[in-house]
Structure 1
Amino acid sequence: MDLPPQKLYKYIPPARIDILQNLKIRFTQPSALNDPFEFNLLFSEIVSTQQLRDHYEKADKQELILEAIKELPDDQRALFALVSKEQLFQMFEQFISNMFNAGKVNDIHRDYIAPLTPKLKEGMYEGLNKIIGILSLSATPISPPMWANYAENSTGFVLEFDTTHSFFNGRRSEKDEFYHLRQVIYDDRQPSATMMDMPFDTFVLKSKSWEYEQEWRMLLPLDLASKKFITDFGDEVSLFDVPASCITKIIIGLNARETKINELLEVLVASSHFDHIDLERIHKGPTGFKLERFKKE
């Protein structure tokens, strides 16, 4: 896994100065992001007929039979007690082998497995949407499309974060999906044949059309949010505490209004938590944006 650059950036519209005022930042559920294909589950079916057949061949038939009998009512279960286990297993093996031929596997798959795929996808997406929040950051602070799309046409700000801060390094194990930064993979993939074949990078996979964002992201469980509320539009918002010490710089947009700049400065000088933060402002260079130092008054 690649290490993130030491600095990453969050583009914010001018109204989001409250991130600094309250030191809380939103981790957004997939359905509220601007890419409608976030967490797209790239598989065509749950399991293939061959995988279904292989699973049956490898299954412990005796254990399956005993578990099925345990689920029966007492009177029916008593009937099976009249025969020996050897006879029972032999009887069921013959019955299942007659049922579970190639044609029957195809029928079972068509009638029962295939119809479950869309329902399973929907259920999995709804489940992920309820439990996972995403903080999206960029590797560049001077992307004109990013300033236009996420900082309200360059009227907003960019927050610079120190990725070595403990806030971004809380991973509990190598398999932990949460509490650490991960680079987004940009790839136009076709769906896998089955869910079992699907690559396990769904949380960081986006199409190449988003490659200009140079995104890194961190996931957190939404149930750990320090504040939750529902907007007037019905959107669920989950805010997490963000330490001021992980913010190292604020970059003012090219078209930022003086009133918003003054509001930002008031927030910064009001608390010693922000003494370490540098200020810069975007300007037009000969071929693109450039950064110049901005003095705190």
Structure 2
Amino acid sequence: MQLPSILYKYTTASTAFLVLENSKLRWSSPLLFNDIAEFQRMPRFHPRVADSYKLLTASIVSAVFDGVELDEVRLTHQAALLLNLVKLMASEGNITREDILKGLTGEVSDADDKIEVSLRDYVDKLGLSTARVLCVTSENDNNAMWGNYAENHAGCVFGFRHIAKYDTPLQEAARVSYSAERPIVGSGLDFLLYGNTPELRKSTLHAIFYTKDQSWAYEREWRVITWRPNEAEKQVSDFLFFSEELESVTLGARATVKTELRVRELLAGKYPDASLYRMELKGGKLVPALLS
């Protein structure tokens, strides 16, 4: 999906003042997030690895007896050994493919559990307290977001543009995917044939860091992640942004006059190119209205 031209950050009024005064946004460790499952949903294979050992032997046998193509260069050491063994057995001519399938098909019933444990161990060793995540969204008129993250409509929403010439972090924002089940990153058969490929590693890490349960889909989240190994004890980092990045500030429908005056003052002093809006309720729908 194409990166939105503007990404939004919901805040309380007091946080909005701090952001505008300091030109800094707070990036936090996922350990502080309200979703306790952040970075904890390990992806899976379908079919499972445990169910793919028969498929592995069948694929090797089909390659030898039927000429079904395999990418032999990419095979794991174990799969290559199995292929060579089947070729040798077939060349002797005194054994049937049924005998080979019966004799060489193994099973590791807890293979998927072991893979999940290994993934969890890997993520734990990364140190989630050193991860820094900036969470933004593609919508500035989300009623639930205003209620949950912007002080029950009394806060603000910042609109940020990503600027190529400054190499701003939001250029690297990736969309969060939502699913009721743990994400699937490949088939167990491909894993047994070709192992932990660079493509699989990339999709696995993306699944861990950029997927959430379906119940959070209303957030329409995009996020940027960095790591700060020397700041584990803080669990938060405040990073500067360029004044040009701030495209707009939108006041909530319940924002006070005092909040509006303070935001106007701060925008005039440091962000002359940023527009100011206020949300209005029209026909039961939130609509941003430009303020003069």
Q: TM-score range by the shorter chain?
A: 0.5 to 0.7
Taking only the aligned residue pairs, the percentage that are identical comes to 21
Q: CA deviation at 1:186?
A: 1.8
CA distance in 2, matches of 1:168, 1:123: 30
**Pairing 1:17-56 to 2, within 5 Å after superposition:** 17-39=17-39, 40-43=41-44
Take 2:150 and 2:225, find their aligned partners in 1: how far apart are those partners? Answer: 22
Residues 237-287 of structure 1, C-alpha deviation per residue, up to 9 Å, x if partnerless?
211111111011100111112222222223223x3x311111110111113
TM-score (norm 1): 0.64
Structure 2 contact 42–182 (Cα < 8 Å) conserved? no
**Larger radius of gyration, structure 1 or 2?**
1
Q: For 1:30 and 1:292, locate their aligned partners in 2 and report how far apart those are by CA, in whole Å.
A: 34
Q: Aligned partners of 1:212, 1:122: CA distance in 2, in Å?
A: 30
Aligned amino acid, residue 265 of structure 1: R
- Provide the aligned length of Structure 1 versus Structure 2: 235
- Tell whether 2:198 aligns with 1:206: no
- The aligned amino acid for 2:22 is N
**2:256 aligned with 1:257, yes or no?**
yes
8 Å Cα contact 1:131/1:221 also seen in 2: yes
215, 224, 227: which one aligns with 1:221: 227
Separation (CA, whole Å) in 1 of partners of 2:233 and 2:127: 19
Task: Please report the RMSD computed on the Cα atoms of aligned residues, expressed in angstroms.
Answer: 3.8
Aligned counterpart in structure 2 of residue 287 of structure 1, from 254, 276, 284:
284
Contact conserved, 1:6 with 1:163, CA < 8 A, in 2?
A: yes
TM-superposed CA distance for 1:138, in Å, is: 1.2
SS in 2 for 1:141: coil
Equivalent position SS for 2:158:
strand
2:182 matches 1:181? no
**2:271 paired residue among 274, 277, 282:** 274
Which ranges in structure 2 are unaligned for 5 or more consecutive residues? 58-74, 82-102
Unaligned ranges ≥5, structure 1: 61-100, 171-177, 231-235
1:12-44, Cα deviation, whole Å (9 max, x unpaired): 111212111111111222221222222222349
Q: TM-score with structure 2 length normalisation?
A: 0.65
Residue of structure 2 equivalent to 1:140:
139
In structure 2, the partner of 1:98 is: none
Quote the Cα distance in structure 1 between the aligned partners of 2:127 and 2:177.
Answer: 19
Q: Which residue of 1 aligns with 2:62?
A: none
Q: CA 1:114–1:268 in structure 2 vs 1: closer, same or farther (change >3 Å)?
A: closer
Change (3 A) 1:10 1:166: farther
The whole-number CA distance in structure 2 between the counterparts of 1:118 and 1:128 is 16
Deviation at 1:179, TM superposition (A): 6.0
- Judged with a 3 Å threshold, the aligned counterparts in structure 2 of structure 1 residues 20 and 189 are, in CA distance, closer, same or farther, namely same
- Secondary structure of the equivalent of 1:27? strand
Partner amino acid for 1:35? D
